[in-house]
Amino acid sequence: MPLSVAIVGSGPSGFYAAEALLKGGDVAIDLIERLPTPFGLVRGGVAPDHQSTKQVVRAFERTARDKAVAYFGHVEIGRDLSMDELCGLYDAVVLAVGAPADRPLGIPGEELPGVVGSAAFVGWYNGHPDFARVDPPLSTERAVVIGNGNVALDVARVLVKTPQEMAASDIAEEAEAAISAAPLREVVLLGRRGPVEARFTLKELREMGTLAAAAVALDPAQLPAAAPAGLPERKRRLAERNLEILRGLAAAAAARPKRVRFEFYARPVAVLGARRVEGLRWERTELRDGRVVGTGQLHDLPCGLIVPAIGYRSKRIPGVPFDAGRGRLRNRDGRIAEGLYCVGWCKRGPSGVIGSNKQDGDLAAETIRRELGPRVAGGGGKPGRPGLQRLLSARGVRWVDYPAWQAIDAAERAAAAEGAPRRKFVSIDDMLALLDQASPHGS
């Protein structure tokens, strides 16, 4: 009998695990996703103006259409069935649930209205149903984005791009309207460390010099003449190339209505304001033996919106060991317990690019087949898909299968403005209502 595997989460790490398992043959894979829509961060996290990056879903679509794979959207572990029930139904369960929670800043005032974590902010402009009602306070001339990585660059870029520049994106309609109407004049990118330590990739950093209505501002004195010789060769080369781009951005001063200002060696100390964000207090820093050390020089920066983009954490799953210090599921090389595994950010933390998850999928597939293959081949397999369908039907749980997702996808594409790839549904109820119109009985 085939090896039955449930993969919880249908983002890149889940699809890479499914692809790796399919290569071994004789397997039945069920992708279980709490949203009706698949593809995880490719849909809800990749910047809406980076459509080329989203083309990876074509490979995922081939996996989803494989006869050995079934999709169960709109099914949530902890709401519709428990982890114990799921593990009782499948030979193996692979958790691919990502790291959807923002890391806290850990400074006074971060609870004030006007501090919007990057997970929520990016989810809002990407039309993620969890964040459709975020409504960030954009009636301000200055926003501060805290972080020296690509997510920080994405947020800053989307905030200052013109509607014409975003016309070929799949930004949520409500978000685009709010950003376009905002009186923003400056976005400050604030990072504790320097440009050598920043985690920008070349493509994203170069884009900052191509903005139609925004110039880049940064202090050339913060750019070292060269990356430290002691860095590993690969990191040193990347740092040198980033420094070269930053020098070019610093030299290309232009008169434009908006600007993005890079402020390196700046540590947030406190969010200022009584009832809402009115500013950010930050401290000048320096590096000593690789450590960030405050100099005692404090500065107050008036602003109405602060977006921390300093990393993400996984959420606890009842019954699954959790490493609170690292904000991820407790595991050893992706193995949590016999029959229970994890891949992607919930395994190793939020690092790497989309393709970085492939190695996790390969390792999980190899471990599952080594540990469970002989037992299942001997006739000890669990109910798998038929068991899940019986349980969900008995509880009146409505799931969205892959053809139903394709109907949602088709409707979004049909509703797109000229030049845009789609107009996203931002409400689960609206997605289900569409399916009701097409098929009153649903799944």
Q: Give the residue from 312, 211, 328 showing the smallest Cα distance to 259.
A: 211
Verify that 301 and 335 share a domain, yes or no. no
Do residues 276 and 115 lie in contact, with contact meaning Cβ atoms separated by under 8 Å?
no
Verify that 108 and 95 share a domain, yes or no. no
Q: Is 149 annotated as a binding residue?
A: yes
Token readout for 236 is 């040193």
Q: Is 399 annotated as a binding residue?
A: no
Verify that 137 and 55 share a domain, yes or no. no
What pLDDT is attached to residue 352? 83
In order of 71, 94, 95, 214, 352, the CA distances from 347 in angstroms are 22, 11, 9, 38, 13
Domain of 27: which CATH number? 3.40.50.720
Could you tell me the residue range of the domain that residue 89 belongs to?
A: 3-100+314-399
- Spans in the chain with pLDDT lower than 50: 440-443
- The dihedral over CA atoms of 21, 26, 28, 29, expressed in degrees to the nearest 10, equals 10
Q: What is the pTM of this model?
A: 0.94
- End-to-end CA, the chain: 26
Verify that 260 and 116 share a domain, yes or no. yes
What pLDDT is attached to residue 208? 96
Verify that 35 and 184 share a domain, yes or no. no
Q: Is 13 annotated as a binding residue?
A: yes
CA–CA distance, 44 with 312 (Å, rounded to integer): 14
Q: Is 86 annotated as a binding residue?
A: no
CA–CA distance, 207 with 215 (Å, rounded to integer): 11
Verify that 157 and 301 share a domain, yes or no. yes
Q: Is 192 annotated as a binding residue?
A: yes
Q: Is 150 annotated as a binding residue?
A: yes
Q: Is 353 annotated as a binding residue?
A: yes
Which of 296, 312, 328 finishes a domain?
312
In a domain, 22, yes or no: yes
Q: Is 78 annotated as a binding residue?
A: no
In a domain, 366, yes or no: yes
Q: Is 32 annotated as a binding residue?
A: no
Which of 287, 312, 337 finishes a domain?
312
CA–CA distance, 357 with 351 (Å, rounded to integer): 9
Verify that 330 and 381 share a domain, yes or no. yes
What pLDDT is attached to residue 343? 97
Verify that 165 and 89 share a domain, yes or no. no
Name the H helices within 102-232: 118-125, 150-160, 173-181, 202-207
Q: Which residues fall within 8 angstroms of residue 303, CB to CB, at 6 or more apart?
A: 140, 142, 143, 144, 188, 277, 278, 279, 280
What pLDDT is attached to residue 353? 84
Q: Is 276 left (phi over 0), alpha (psi -120 to 50) or beta?
A: beta
Verify that 77 and 20 share a domain, yes or no. yes
In a domain, 230, yes or no: yes
What pLDDT is attached to residue 441? 43
Verify that 155 and 83 share a domain, yes or no. no
What pLDDT is attached to residue 378? 55
Verify that 297 and 322 share a domain, yes or no. no
Q: Is 242 annotated as a binding residue?
A: no
Domain of 262: which CATH number? 3.50.50.60
Q: Is 357 annotated as a binding residue?
A: no
Give pairs for 240-243: CB < 8 Å, separation 24+: 241/202, 242/195, 242/196, 242/198, 242/200, 242/202, 242/205, 243/195, 243/196
Q: Please state the three-class secondary structure of 284-306 as a single string.
A: EEEEECCEEEEEEEEEEEECCEE
Token readout for 353 is 């690019």
Do residues 35 and 112 lie in contact, with contact meaning Cβ atoms separated by under 8 Å?
no
Q: Is 46 annotated as a binding residue?
A: no
Domain count, the chain: 2
Verify that 263 and 241 share a domain, yes or no. yes
Q: Is 41 annotated as a binding residue?
A: yes
